Structure 1
Amino acid sequence: MMPSLFIAHGAPLIAIENNEYTKYLNQLGQDLPRPKAVVLFSAHWESKVQQVSRVHEYNTIYDFGGFDPQLYTIQYPARGDHDISKEIEDLFTENGIAFENDTSRGLDHGAWVVLRLLYPNADVPVIAMSVNPKLTTEEQYNIGKSLSELREKDILVIASGGTVHNLRALKWADNGQVDSWALEFDDWLAKKLENWNVESLFNYDSLAPHAALAVPPYGNEHFIPIFYAMGAAANNPRATLLHRSFRYGNLSHSVWQFG
């Protein structure tokens, strides 16, 4: 059975960097069983109603500015799979989850940066999925849970975001030091995930140390994809931290495997 994964996509620069984290993701793509397709929830696609892509071939979205010009030349022409999109829609219908089809949107950098590091040849079909930060954490978990049987069919569920993601707190002159508040929040999160303590996790904003710094009130879209990934493995509740590192003082580069 395929696991589900939560993968931090960091800053867009990891698309052209060669460092500890990019090397890890390159290797992870080789170590994982080859998936039939990837279903990917991206922090950079927000919607009030769950979106399910039905795209034949994706264009590449450069949803960032002010970075190295090389980033804007990268293409990741992954293809979709309408049969798997239909299967997702059927599962949502069975589980009472409202959804809409999207037939035109490309892959944002939360999707293509991660996918390109895992599968550089763009030869694995992709079904892009939105996230909804306005839902409760339990509702986000249940959306993922409704897709858990896909893992039995060699389909890899990935949620792309970041456990600690506060752009206003970043230290771009990176000296390798990690802020204590970021470590304390991430350590709390790791303990709750490894114990599959969903009650605490669903209430992370009031229970976790430094939650307002790690997941700032002005935006939780990067954190909440972890609930989609976790829910997708609810039928095999096991969490394993595969990688953790930090950049710019507090930006987390973490990879969690569920199931």
Structure 2
Amino acid sequence: MSNRLPVYFISHGSPMLALGAGRFGDAWAKITEEIETPKAILMISAHWTTVAPVVSAAEKPETIHDFGGFPRALFEVQYPTVGAPWLAERVADLLQSANWPVAIHPDRGLDHGAWVPLQEMYPMGEIPVAQLSIQPRQDPAYHYRLGKLLAPLREEGVLILASGSITHNLGDIHWHRDHDDNFSEAWATEFQSWVSDQLLAGQTDAMLQYRANAPHAHYAHPHDDHFMPLYVTMGAGDGEQVDRLFDGTMLGTLAMDVYRFGGVN
């Protein structure tokens, strides 16, 4: 594959989307319509956190149901796919060449931040997947640099796909609302709009200091984990066009934006 693939950030929302993703699933599926079929996918999910980077090399990744309190039907969902041990080795080489500590996990599966959107994008599980952890003890600048180290994969037919959330405050979620209800708390909308404004204008410095600059940052992200995958995509797509492919909200406070870094042919 000679064309350079774009990089994508998706907001994965509630695990319940695995039982019917609706408009969010449609937005994820559209990604596959605008790009060539990738050789493999490197998934960076907010739900695998480690002290230093770890990349999965499972040949047949299990479907990890890393949640509780949901209907039994959700725990019965499986996403049978194939792994990409060769991609794990390539990621490790890229990080090691920059003197970053990195480990390979031989059999770690895919958490719901990975398989919920992937089952909408590639429902047959035909694209090999490796997953890379994030480091929530590290700051946005660290994850931005991590993305820059991964950028060469784009020339090698690898789709870099990061999964997190533009806003993620579980304490303020309106669980009683329907997933198709686009109601949003004012603080979530203001934060969501600020992020969009910065990304589309290329304001990287402002984004790297989002806690000091963004409105309601402490409400939008009591913890950094679900926001850090966005910085990986920013780094991997550094200096290229940014497009907001989808904006919407579910459960009152979860902003579900999808961003593309880099153009499509």
> Under TM normalisation by the shorter chain, which class is it?
over 0.9
C-alpha contact (below 8 Å) 2:10/2:28 kept by paired residues: no
Asked if residue 70 in structure 1 is aligned to residue 69 in structure 2, the reply is no
Q: Does 1:228 align with 2:218?
A: no
SS across alignment from 2:133: strand
**Correspondence 1:84 to 2:87:** yes
Give the fraction of aligned pairs with identical amino acids, expressed as a percent.
34
Which residue of structure 2 lines up, in the alignment, with residue 94 of structure 1? 97
Alignment partner, residue 107 of structure 1: 110
The one of 9, 19, 24 aligned to 2:22: 19
Name which of 202, 211, 218 aligns with 1:196. Answer: 202
2:48 is the alignment partner of 1:45: yes
SS in 1 for 2:130: strand
1:10 maps to 13
Work out whether residues 52 and 85 of structure 1, in 8 Å CA contact, stay in contact via their aligned partners in 2: yes
Q: Which runs of 5+ in 1 are unaligned?
A: none
Q: Which residue of 2 is the match for residue 31 of structure 1?
A: 34
After superposition, the CA RMSD in angstroms is: 1.2
Equivalent residue letter for 2:195: L
AA at the equivalent of 1:224: M
User: Partner of 1:206 in structure 2?
Assistant: 212
Give secondary structure in 1 for the equivalent of 2:247: strand
> Which segments of 5 or more consecutive residues in structure 2 lack a partner in the other structure?
none
Given that 1:163 and 1:223 are in contact with CA atoms closer than 8 Å, whether structure 2 keeps it comes out as yes
Tell me which amino acid in the other structure corresponds to 1:209. P
1:160 counterpart (138, 163, 180): 163
- Note closer, same or farther for the CA distance 1:145–1:161 as it changes in structure 2 (3 Å cut): same
> Is 1:254 the equivalent of 2:254?
no
1:82, CA displacement in angstroms?
Answer: 2.1
* TM-score in terms of structure 2 length: 0.93
Question: Which stretch of the first structure deviates more once superposed, 182-191 or 76-85?
Answer: 76-85
Aligned letter for 2:206? S
1:193 & 1:27 partners in 2: Cα distance?
A: 21
Equivalent residue letter for 1:223: F
Counterpart contact for 2:28–2:121, Cα < 8 Å:
yes
Asked if the contact 1:47–1:132 (Cα under 8 Å) also holds between the matched residues in 2, the reply is: yes
Task: Give the residue type in structure 1 aligned to 2:225.
Answer: E
8 A contact 2:55–2:130 mirrored in 1 = yes
SS in 2 for 1:129: strand
What do residues 118-142 of structure 1 show as CA deviations (whole Å, max 9, x unaligned)? Answer: 1000110001110001112111111
- Count of aligned positions: 256
Task: With the length of structure 1 as denominator, give the TM-score of the two structures.
Answer: 0.95
Paired residues of 1:30 and 1:118 also in contact (CA < 8 A): no
Q: Is the CA contact 2:56–2:109 (under 8 Å) kept in the aligned structure 1?
A: no
Contact 1:97 1:143 (C-alpha < 8 Å) held by counterparts? no
Q: Secondary structure at the match of 2:248?
A: strand
- Check whether the contact 2:140–2:228 (CA below 8 A) recurs between aligned residues: yes
Which amino acid in the other structure matches residue 143 of structure 1?
Answer: L
